[in-house]
Structure 1
Amino acid sequence: MPSATLTRNRWDWIPVMLGVLHFAAVLWLFVAFPALAWWQVGLCGLAYAVAVSWNINSISHNFIHNPYFRQRWLNACFSFMLSATVGFSQAMYDFVHMRHHSGNMDRPDDGGRTIDYLSIYKHGRGGRAENVWHYTFLSYFRDDPAEILRAMGPRRAGLALQAKLEMAGVAAFYLVLLVLDWRFVVCMLPFNYLGQCLSSLNGYYEHFGGDPDRPIAWGVSTYGRLYNWTWLNNGYHAEHHYRPKAHWTRMPELRRALAEEQRRAGTRVIWPPHALGFLDRSLSPRRLPPFPPQKEIL
């Protein structure tokens, strides 16, 4: 049952507390930074990068689909905190991610357009997905905040305003850190980029090998217990794309309900966590046929 504060159920205190701890860890790293040896900075930087991807794909992702709080102001505060933690606007991520679910990794039309900003097919050739490493390391530079804000338009004016405020808040937060210790910001910037790249890598294998034309097979799932315990059931990605509003705690139950339908549709399952999907031999590009061109987007 939900509590008086949380929207869905008491299990949401887990991602809420993890989100707070992640933000606190960033602050701790800033305070501890001057006393750390270079190798300690390197290890903390790598942990920070992994944590950025982890947050985006677990805490932040679930927050988009099922906001944790009943009160709007609490959701707004949590959104600002997440934005400062990972380094970009949560509200903008909300819009981009909803487009992701609208397009579901759609293939480009004759004009090269996709509904899904994150589509792995957008920059691919011959109906195939883009090379994984191109997608992983170039996606960060393809984001255009101005274009996304324009796409929000009058219908999402409130979200666009929140995105602008969050971008200003993130800029102010890191400007203060820059003034207090510019070395910390300069040192962590490459690790933040690495974290964004790891998130793109994760997203790539959440869909590579899936079928963009069959809703039950849009996503690619992986059912390792450790991955799903630590990433809040993000491994159940085919199930998530088929039922995006299903709560993260209900994913195993949803898998059981869809098992036969998924089997008939050939929904793909891999054995490693998504970020290590390149280790799964079934995903070799030579074994995956190209999909036919998609109809023009109206």
Structure 2
Amino acid sequence: MIWRYSWRDSIPLSVTLFQLAINIWLAATWETRTLLQNLLFIPLCLFLFWYNGLVASHNFVHTPWFKLDSLNRFYLAINSINIGLPQAYYRHEHLVHHRFVNDRPDQYGQVQDPTSIFANGKNGQPENVISYCFLGLFRADLLESFRKIGQTGEAPQLYLELAACFLALIGYLILSWQYFLFLFLPTFYLGWVLEHLENYYEHFGGVPENKYANSTSYYASLYNVLFCNEGYHQEHHLRPGVHWTKRHQLRREFRKDFNKVDRVILRFPPALGFLDHRRIVQEQQATQPCAKAI
């Protein structure tokens, strides 16, 4: 067996491989279709980008899928092409997020979590969701993150992933500059907008100072089956090293602690959190059933 935790990791793996394959195919065959026909692929490519960041890239950070480190490192390089940035950068930012979990500004107005929804808010309130999502990509301090990654001894992996991104970029431009301009760039930008939207409502309404209520959760079964139990986000923050197939068990484990606090349980997936963004209920009041691990 090649799997470190579960063969079910082949599900997000298959999605990311399909994402890479369809992007190469679109670039290579761009000239065989009209511009309108090509643009019809944007929703699919955007969904794959969003799913990658939400499920595949995210889970891989915490529980690398393969027993062999060489396979893990190869996958990281390949998937860096999909998300348009080195996976090492994604990992670095995400682990900092887990360490400080959407913290509020200190006395100097600074936050430790670069993805905190409070970082650019006013008067101690979260930032507006629109500016958070659409400006988030431009606020990334890549050079500083690369410097810190290098200090951890992961510079060789970072260089490998940067090389993969660069070579893919050149390859796409050679195959079709129109593909790069009209599909790759819009998908890259809007994909990261969706990633920021997801993160926003995975934490909006949460209490950063309370580890049992600093995030939100969404317990609908279908969503958690299709998205590898990503709805158990509060549970995930409590035990980030637990494989996604076991996250539903954490809800039962922490039920007593959840019952002691008011926390956000969403009625819609986080990407649609704006439809019901302040549903604050206690755990014992929640009526939605636990999703079963697939």
Give yes or no for TM over 0.5: yes
Query: How far has the Cα of 1:165 moved from its partner?
Result: 2.6
Matches within 5 A, 1:114-153: 114-152=111-149
2:175, 2:78 → 1: CA distance? 20
1:85, 1:270 → 2: CA distance? 29
1:17, 1:200 → 2: CA distance? 24
Q: Which runs of 5+ in 2 are unaligned?
A: 281-294
1:180 to 175, 179, 186: 175
Matches within 5 A, 1:17-56: 17-56=14-53
Deviations 1:175-221 (CA, angstroms, capped at 9, x unpaired): 12102211110112122100110110011001001110111112101
Query: How far has the Cα of 1:82 moved from its partner?
Result: 0.8
Query: How far has the Cα of 1:64 moved from its partner?
Result: 0.3
Query: How far has the Cα of 1:111 moved from its partner?
Result: 2.5
Aligned residue number for residue 290 of structure 2:
none
Aligned residue number for residue 283 of structure 2:
none
2:55 to 50, 55, 58: 58
Deviates more, 1:225-234 or 1:133-142: 225-234
Contact 2:15 2:48 survives alignment (8 Å):
no
2:145, 2:174 → 1: CA distance? 30
Aligned residue number for residue 287 of structure 2:
none
Aligned residue number for residue 208 of structure 2:
212
Question: Secondary structure of 1:7's partner?
Answer: coil
Question: Secondary structure of 1:215's partner?
Answer: coil
2:150, 2:21 → 1: CA distance? 35
1:238, 1:6 → 2: CA distance? 26
Query: How far has the Cα of 1:141 moved from its partner?
Result: 0.3
Deviations 1:84-122 (CA, angstroms, capped at 9, x unpaired): 112111111111100000110011212332221111111
Aligned residue number for residue 198 of structure 2:
202
Aligned residue number for residue 291 of structure 1:
none
Contact 1:48 1:192 survives alignment (8 Å):
no
What CA RMSD, in Å, does the superposition of the two structures yield over aligned residues? 1.7
Question: Secondary structure of 2:216's partner?
Answer: coil
1:279 to 265, 275, 294: 275
Aligned residue number for residue 14 of structure 1:
11
Aligned residue number for residue 81 of structure 1:
78
Aligned residue number for residue 161 of structure 1:
156
Contact 1:64 1:94 survives alignment (8 Å):
yes
Question: Secondary structure of 1:48's partner?
Answer: helix
Query: How far has the Cα of 1:50 moved from its partner?
Result: 2.1
Query: Which amino acid in structure 2 is aligned with residue 277 of structure 1?
Result: G
Question: Secondary structure of 1:229's partner?
Answer: helix
Query: How far has the Cα of 1:281 moved from its partner?
Result: 4.9
Matches within 5 A, 1:220-231: 220-231=216-227
Give 4+ residue runs of structure 1 displaced > 6 Å after superposition. Answer: none
Q: How many residues of Structure 1 are paired with residues of Structure 2 in the alignment?
A: 279
2:180, 2:50 → 1: CA distance? 18
Identity over aligned pairs, percent: 35
Contact 2:207 2:214 survives alignment (8 Å):
yes
Contact 1:240 1:251 survives alignment (8 Å):
yes
Residues 229 and 36 (structure 1 numbering): CA distance in 2 closer, same or farther, change over 3 Å?
farther
Query: How far has the Cα of 1:62 moved from its partner?
Result: 0.3
Query: How far has the Cα of 1:283 moved from its partner?
Result: 5.8
Deviations 1:232-282 (CA, angstroms, capped at 9, x unpaired): 111110110111111101111211222232122122101111111000152
Q: Which runs of 5+ in 1 are unaligned?
A: 285-298
Deviates more, 1:13-22 or 1:98-107: 13-22
Scaled by the length of structure 2, the TM-score of the pair is 0.90
Question: Secondary structure of 2:254's partner?
Answer: helix
1:83, 1:122 → 2: CA distance? 26
Query: Which amino acid in structure 2 is aligned with residue 164 of structure 1?
Result: Y
